[in-house]
Amino acid sequence: MEADVIIEASAVLPTTTEPGELAGIGLDSPARFLNRELSWLDFAERLIDLSEDEDQPLLERAKFIAIWSGGLDEFFQVRVAGLKDQIAAAVTKRSPDGMTGTEQLTAIGAHCRAQLARLDAIYNEQILPALAAAGVEICSWEDLDDSERAELLKAFERDIFPVLTPLAVDPGHPFPYISNLSLNLGVIVADERDGEERFARVKVPPLLSRFVRVGQGARFVPLEHVIAANLDHLFPEMSFGDAMCFASPATPISHWRRTRLTTCSPPWSSSCAAVDSVELSAWRSGRTCPTRSGSCCSPNSN
């Protein structure tokens, strides 16, 4: 039985070297090893392959994207955080494949960006049109007509507005605590009286459904879009630009991470410092959410 499993697994595992390529290379040579963190990303990319496979049921393809997204969240929380801790602690020992922590972060950043771009295209160009063709439409606020917007405005005032708590950041109010993986809207608001600008954060309530139904059919608008389109209710007498969706994975200080720092064993994983949690969550949420107010500042989606 075990032999059958090994044969089956070997048939699908990627081959990175040809027979004879490692001849003459020592058993301890970095050339004989794959990077643990990059190989994890390569494995995760199989989920992207499945999401692109038109032979898979449509909702399963969407589910594969969600599984990839959740896995990458954990990847950043544990493996990337472990690498960054090693760099901060000036750990210089290389991984078995010969890479420094910084080199791993850079390489994984490139992998993450490529995977994000690919998933972005699959979701927007394949999954969403296929869902719409099947009768399930994910809309943005701009796709709605006046009567539909009026309907969602009533839903906002009745069900959403009472549970929102906007928080502004200024010298008298430090940056608010961001709970792990919570979905948030970030926006630059300006006082119309004196023009003073400040950053504000609105947490998307996790107790509400992520999608708001439009009418009685199968048309839905993401909850964060409904909130962003009605920010004037939260910030009266203020102007603001587009709201940016973001989430921030926590980096728990665990025994696992402390042990790996102490023993200088291969880091749990890596991800480019430039590919941060904000960018990942922005991909999932559509990057920017349109608002109805005139722009005083438009946050950069990068």
Please tell me which residue, 206 or 22, carries the higher pLDDT value.
206
pLDDT at 4 over 80: no
Which domains, ranges and CATH numbers included, belong to the chain?
32-135+251-284 (1.20.58.310), 137-248 (3.30.1840.10)
Per-residue confidence (pLDDT) for residue 26, from 0 to 100? 66
Q: What is the number of residues in the chain? A: 302
To the nearest whole percent, how much of the chain has pLDDT over 70?
Answer: 73
Per-residue confidence (pLDDT) for residue 169, from 0 to 100? 82
Summarize pLDDT for 62-78 with one digit per residue, the tens: 999 999 999 998 898 88
pLDDT at 281 over 50: no
Residue 182 token pair: 């919570």
Summarize pLDDT for 247-278 with one digit per residue, the tens: 877 655 443 444 333 333 332 233 323 334 33
pLDDT at 282 over 60: no
Read off the amino acid at residue 252. P
pLDDT band, very low/low/confident/very high, at 284 (cuts 50, 70, 90): very low
Comparing C-alpha atoms, which of 48, 39, 37 is closest to residue 115? 48
Whether the CB-CB separation of 167 and 173 falls below 8 Å is answered with yes
> What DSSP string runs through 218-276?
TEEEEHHHHHHHTGGGTSTTEEE-PEEEE--------HHHHHHHHHTPPPS----TTS-
